[in-house]
Amino acid sequence: MALAADPTVTLSPASSTVYQGQTFTVNVELAADSNNHSETTFTVAFDKAVLRLDSISQGSLYFNQVANTIDNVTTGTGTATYNFFGGSQSTSGTVATLQFTALATGTGSLTFTGTNQVLNSGSTAFASSVFTGSAFTVNAPLSASVLTLSSSYADWSQGDSQTVTIALDTQGNQVAGVDIDLTFNPAVLQITNTNWAGLFPNQQGLTFNNSTRTLSVSGVVNEGSPYNGQGTVLTITFQALAIGSTNIDFAWTSGLTTDTNIVDYNNANIDMLSSDPAALVITVSSGGTLDFTFGLLDFLGDLTTKTGTLKVSGPNVTTNWSSPAQSGTIPNLLGTITSHALGTFTYGVAYDVIIAVPGYLKTKQNDTITSGSNPVSGTMDFGDLTPGDSNGDGVNNSFDLSSVFGQWDSSFSTNADFNGDGTVNTFDVAILYQYFNLVDTI
């Protein structure tokens, strides 16, 4: 039968890498090897220029703390004694936990020094107890990782559905995952959809509640694979319900683990966020209207009606659309179709407005709504539209001439009857030749 070895005492972890300003813990662990023991005394020495010992707390092994002293000024040591109130046991476990703060960069050792002993059941020290220290490295402070909220537009129109993006920049750090706690004003905005962007393959949870104005997210990388880089965590679709202003904001409190956090991959106790991320301010308004005029060249002076289509495109218009169809009477020579309110748009955003009238080259204007009622220059004026584009391909050429001849003497064509006299004939050919080889302005 093998004899039991004397107890051993070690510092755990045996080695560690921490960062300047970080608080970390080291445990004093006793392995009894079936020996009955009654008390343990230890003194741990450290480099007081690099580390500060903040506390020594009792572990789970012993019942009683006999002594506990810390010297960060002269010796750079921490000393403690723990026992079983006069009894003995053969259990193993944590004698104490040492909490340090890393003051400066450097490398070194935590060593047992002075009186270090384990007493047996007869209160006599084991002769061959082994005490083993640990090594540490303090690196330069970590750069704080960053979470940001963004939207293409800060000014929304009532009824708009817009996307807000949550992005992560780890700033070179290895990140295990993020937790997000988001707030907003439910009277102004509501969430209608969310979409994981694929940055974190394992999503542990995503919930939102418009009534309580909250969104909560948990996302972690694959086990064993930290993330280091920049990317989109989540996109959120909001609908603007009412006119007003609201912050979309991260809930964050320093040291709190139940709100917004960026978790360090190397130490789950470290939040890589060092300050409250900036809120996204959204202003919802009633929007504005675009007014416009345009003219049609008429060579005969006949009063005729043509129907044109207005198409609006811009960063705040999800798809091009045509509404309403515009009809007007062509007066003698130079005429205009009166201005018309065309939908609702967002302040401060530039829009392209395209006018397309059958038989005419399309033309485009771009302007920005600033007042909520009209473009900067007032009514958007497109001037006179250029005739000759019978097939609508954006250029006056031989294809249009073929189209005119193909509809010769027709009284039903609107696209080859350039002068609007009700018949496709020589006058329309003459108009086409006058504007031959001209192209769209879009």
Task: Give the chain's mean pLDDT.
Answer: 82
Q: What is the mean pLDDT of residues 412-429?
A: 84
The number of domains in the chain is 3
Residues with Cβ within 8 Å of residue 261, at least 6 apart in sequence: 178, 179, 252, 271, 272, 273
Q: What is the mean pLDDT of residues 177-204?
A: 88
Largest CA distance in the chain: 126
Shared domain for 352 and 235, answered yes or no, is no
pLDDT one-digit tens code per residue, 354-411: 777 788 898 887 777 654 444 444 566 777 788 899 998 999 999 999 999 999 988 7
**Boundary of a domain, candidates 139, 171, 193:** 139
HSE value, Cβ hemisphere, 13 Å, CA-based, for 101: 6
**Boundary of a domain, candidates 139, 154, 172:** 139
**Residue 79 pLDDT exceeds 90:** yes
pLDDT for res 317: 44
pLDDT for res 298: 54
Residue range of the domain that includes 331: 292-434
pLDDT for res 296: 67
pLDDT for res 290: 60
Q: What is the mean pLDDT of residues 65-93?
A: 96
**Residue 429 pLDDT exceeds 70:** yes
Q: Which of 119-128, 156-165, 215-224 has the lowest mean pLDDT?
A: 215-224
Higher pLDDT: 275 or 338? It is 275
What's the CATH number where 312 sits? Answer: 2.60.40
Higher pLDDT: 307 or 209? It is 209
Length of the chain: 442
Q: Which of 384, 314, 307, 373 is nearest to 341 (CA)?
A: 373
CA distance 441 to 351: 15
Shared domain for 79 and 123, answered yes or no, is yes
Shared domain for 156 and 281, answered yes or no, is yes
Q: Contact, 270 vs 224, CB < 8 A?
A: no
Does 63 map to a domain? yes
Does 442 map to a domain? no
Q: What is the mean pLDDT of residues 8-36?
A: 92
Does 1 map to a domain? no
HSE value, Cβ hemisphere, 13 Å, CA-based, for 95: 31
**Boundary of a domain, candidates 265, 285, 305:** 285
Element (H, E) at 428: helix 426-434
Q: Contact, 298 vs 335, CB < 8 A?
A: yes
Shared domain for 226 and 153, answered yes or no, is yes
pTM: 0.48
Does 3 map to a domain? no
Shared domain for 332 and 371, answered yes or no, is yes
Q: What is the mean pLDDT of residues 38-60?
A: 96
Q: Which of 240, 221, 246 is nearest to 286 (CA)?
A: 240
pLDDT for res 325: 35
Shared domain for 83 and 157, answered yes or no, is no
What's the CATH number where 101 sits? Answer: 2.60.40.680
Q: Contact, 161 vs 238, CB < 8 A?
A: yes
